[in-house]
Amino acid sequence: MLFIPREEGQGLVEYALVILLVAIVVVVLVTVLGPGIGDMYSNVISLM
């Protein structure tokens, strides 16, 4: 048992991949839904 495998770096990589995936999903959603949400706010403001 001279060499015990260390998995600390693996956990950091997994967290980084999850954060990257979430960031990509958020960017895609804002790109797709952004104009529609902006139009909705414009319509609400024009009614006031």
Name the CA radius of gyration of the chain, rounded: 22
What's the pLDDT score for residue 21? 98
SS3 48: coil
DSSP label of 5: -
d(CA 20, CA 26) in angstroms, rounded, equals 10
Q: pLDDT: is 5 or 41 the higher one?
A: 41
State the average pLDDT over residues 3-23. 82
Number of helical H runs and strand E runs in the chain: 1, 0
State the average pLDDT over residues 2-28. 84
State the average pLDDT over residues 19-23. 97
Q: At 21, give phi and psi (nearest 5°).
A: -65, -45
